[in-house]
C-alpha cells in the first residue's frame, strides 16, 4: 500500500492532537504519549488510505477530454454557459505561452505543460483563453471577464513566480 517508513514520536507535552508529515520517504507521526496503540494504529491506517487516495487523484491523466470537461464546467460557472468553441485541446508546440485562442475559428490551445500545474491554475488559463472568445484583446472588458474567476490574481502570481524561477519573462 505504501513505499515509505513510518516513524512514531510520542510526547508527554502533546495532549490531544496527532500530527503527521512526510520527510522524504518517511512519514513522521507525532502523537500524545497517552494515546493507545490501537487508537494510533487506526489513525495511521486512515491517514495512509487518505494519502493513497490523494496520490491516485494526482495521477489522473489530463487529456483533451478532461480539458473539454473543464471548459464546459468553467463556461457554466463563470460565463453562464454563453460561450461556444469548435475545439479545445492541449498543444505540445506551445513553449512560450500557457494558452492561445483564435477567436475567428473558435479554437483554444492550452500548453501541455499546464498538465503539471495545480488544477486551479490550469482553470485560470482556460478561463483566460475562453474570455478571448468574447474579447479578443486584453482590454478592460477582457480583464473584467477573467476576474470573474475568483483565483485569477492568485493564478497570475503563481505563473509569474513559475516563469521567474525558469528564467522566463
- Annotated domain spans of the chain: 5-58, 64-165
| The three three-digit cell numbers of residue 163, written as one number | 516563469
How far is residue 67 from each of residues 18, 48, 151, 164, measured CA to CA in Å?
39, 30, 18, 26
- Contact indicator for 133, 106 with CB cutoff of 8 Å: yes
Q: What is the pLDDT of residue 124?
A: 98
The percent of residues above 70 in pLDDT, for the chain, comes to: 91
Return the CATH class of domain 64-165: alpha beta
* Phi, psi (degrees; rounded to nearest 5) at 18: -115, 135
Q: What is the pLDDT of residues 106-159, one digit of tens each?
A: 999 999 999 989 999 999 999 999 999 999 999 999 999 999 999 999 999 999
- Contact indicator for 123, 79 with CB cutoff of 8 Å: no
Q: What is the pLDDT of residue 167?
A: 64
Q: What is the pLDDT of residues 53-89, one digit of tens each?
A: 666 555 557 888 999 999 999 999 999 999 999 999 9
**Helix boundaries (H) for 4-63:** 37-58
How far is residue 52 from each of residues 1, 17, 43, 157, measured CA to CA in Å?
8, 22, 14, 30
Q: What is the pLDDT of residues 31-56, one digit of tens each?
A: 999 999 888 888 888 888 777 766 65
| The three three-digit cell numbers of residue 102, written as one number | 483564435
Amino acid at each position: 500500500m505504501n513505499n515509505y517508513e513510518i516513524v512514531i514520536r510520542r510526547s508527554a507535552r502533546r495532549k490531544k492532537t496527532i500530527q503527521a508529515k512526510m520527510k522524504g520517504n518517511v512519514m513522521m507521526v507525532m502523537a500524545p504519549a497517552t494515546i493507545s496503540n490501537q487508537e494510533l494504529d487506526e489513525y495511521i491506517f486512515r491517514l495512509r488510505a487518505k494519502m493513497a487516495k490523494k496520490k491516485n487523484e494526482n495521477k489522473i491523466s489530463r487529456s483533451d477530454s478532461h480539458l473539454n470537461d473543464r471548459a464546459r464546467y468553467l463556461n457554466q460557472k463563470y460565463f453562464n454557459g454563453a460561450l461556444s468553441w469548435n475545439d479545445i485541446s492541449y498543444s505540445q508546440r506551445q513553449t512560450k505561452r500557457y494558452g492561445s485562442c483564435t477567436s475567428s475559428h473558435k479554437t483554444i490551445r492550452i500548453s501541455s505543460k499546464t498538465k503539471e500545474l495545480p488544477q486551479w491554475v490550469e482553470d485560470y488559463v482556460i478561463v483566460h483563453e475562453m474570455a478571448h472568445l468574447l474579447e479578443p484583446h486584453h482590454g478592460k472588458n477582457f480583464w473584467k471577464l477573467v476576474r470573474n474567476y475568483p483565483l485569477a490574481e492568485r493564478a497570475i502570481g503563481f505563473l509569474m513566480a513559475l516563469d521567474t524561477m525558469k528564467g522566463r519573462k
